[in-house]
Amino acid sequence: MIPFNFEYYKPATAREAVDLFHTLQTRDKNPMYYGGGTEIISFSRLYQLYPKAVIDIKGIPECNVLEFQNDRLVIGAAKTLTQLQESNLFPLLSWCAGRVADHTIRNKITLGGNICSRLPYREAVLALLVADCEVVIQRKGETRTEPLESIFNQSLHLDTGDLLLQVTVNKSHTCLPFFSTKRTANGDVNYPQDRIGYPVLSTAFMKNSGRIHAAFSGLCPFPFRSHELEEVLSDQEMATELKLAKAVSYLPAPILTDIDGTAAYREFVLRNTLARAVEQLEGVNCIC
């Protein structure tokens, strides 16, 4: 039960949604775009969010696309994590998104919602970061496409009222070899998901033309991809022990300590995982 009321709008076009947002904004409605709504509902129940208006984006056609268009996979922001898994057009994304929350909730959580989540984990982002994906954003009067990495720094940086419409991925990147892990306080999570919980460490590794891409969640208070770290991991000459020691020094923030694990334990898990990733991706090629 949400102890306050809000207005609910479900626009039919992206342009309307953005216009509506700005109108509501000027009326002090503190509007929020609403995808699956799981976070808005559960946070509002505890007064951790207080929107006076929500704009449901599930009626916007662009947000409901899930298909290859020419050489890119286009994923609408309103597609649920389950739909990504069931279609399995981008296996690494299935893995990363498919270990978020639990299966039933993933029938409701949308890709856009996971990317823009207020929780520090946002594991679907890991696959998108390592695959060099692009995002399509609706602004007042224009639609823009940008590389995700250029506007994702700890979180997705959008101007007020900007709406994430779609994510697109180079088709050839959807079938690159990958390695992905998730560890919770209670142990590993395999795929299909066999354990539920926030990550002590969640990872996505992808190998593109001999270079390892790597993104992490649970390690710092935000998901990130580190090019310096990738440099080290991809170095054919360097001994694994040295790689691990160096890699750990390239983290963008101190390692997290919380109820799921201490920083020391997370580092231990990270080292083990990096070692496994390097071993797994040794000499593997495209999975298409």
**Which parts of 74-93 interact with other proteins (CB under 8 A)?**
82
Indicate whether 161 belongs to the interface with other proteins (CB under 8 A). no
Q: Which position among 31, 37, 113, 199 is part of the footprint of other proteins (CB under 8 A)?
A: 37
Whose Cβ is closer to other proteins: residue 93's or residue 148's?
93
Stretch that binds other proteins, among 89-97, 138-146, 189-197, 240-248 (CB under 8 A): 189-197
Cα–chain center distance at 147: 14
Residue 158 one-letter amino acid: L
Indicate whether 3 belongs to the interface with other proteins (CB under 8 A). yes
**Residue 9 Cβ vs other proteins, minimum distance, rounded to whole Å:** 6
**Residue 87 Cβ vs other proteins, minimum distance, rounded to whole Å:** 14
- CA 8 vs CA 31, 57, 60, 80: distances in Å: 10, 11, 15, 20
**Cis? peptide before 252, omega within 30° of 0:** no
Contact in structure between 84 and 113 (CB atoms under 8 Å): no
DSSP secondary structure of 158-170: --TT-EEEEEEEE
**Residue 187 Cβ vs other proteins, minimum distance, rounded to whole Å:** 5
**Residue 132 Cβ vs other proteins, minimum distance, rounded to whole Å:** 29
Q: At which residue do the structure tokens 């409901």 appear?
A: 64
**Which parts of 40-59 interact with other proteins (CB under 8 A)?**
41-42, 44-47, 54, 56, 58-59
Q: Burial code of 46-59, b = ≥16 C-beta within 10 A, e = fewer? A: eeebebebbbbbbb
**Residue 216 Cβ vs other proteins, minimum distance, rounded to whole Å:** 17
Indicate whether 22 belongs to the interface with other proteins (CB under 8 A). no
Q: Which position among 261, 277, 278, 281 is part of the footprint of other proteins (CB under 8 A)?
A: 261
Indicate whether 10 belongs to the interface with other proteins (CB under 8 A). yes
Whose Cβ is closer to other proteins: residue 196's or residue 220's?
196
Residue 129 one-letter amino acid: L
Indicate whether 197 belongs to the interface with other proteins (CB under 8 A). yes
Q: Which position among 67, 188, 228, 279 is part of the footprint of other proteins (CB under 8 A)?
A: 188
Q: What is the DSSP letter of 255?
A: P
Q: What is the rounded CA–CA span in Å between residue 25 and residue 102?
A: 33
Whose Cβ is closer to other proteins: residue 6's or residue 179's?
6
Q: What is the rounded CA–CA span in Å between residue 206 and residue 208?
A: 6
Indicate whether 217 belongs to the interface with other proteins (CB under 8 A). no
DSSP lists the bridge partners of residue 75 as 66, 167
Contact in structure between 90 and 131 (CB atoms under 8 Å): yes
Nearest to 207 by CA among 236, 247, 182: 236
Indicate whether 103 belongs to the interface with other proteins (CB under 8 A). yes
Q: Which position among 20, 65, 73, 84 is part of the footprint of other proteins (CB under 8 A)?
A: 20
The footprint of other proteins on this chain (CB under 8 A) covers a number of residues equal to 57
- CA 185 vs CA 160, 248, 259, 274: distances in Å: 36, 20, 8, 18
Site residues for other proteins per CB under 8 A: 1-13, 16, 20, 36-38, 41-42, 44-47, 54, 56, 58-59, 82, 98, 101-105, 107-108, 183, 185-188, 192-198, 200, 259, 261-262, 265, 268-269, 272
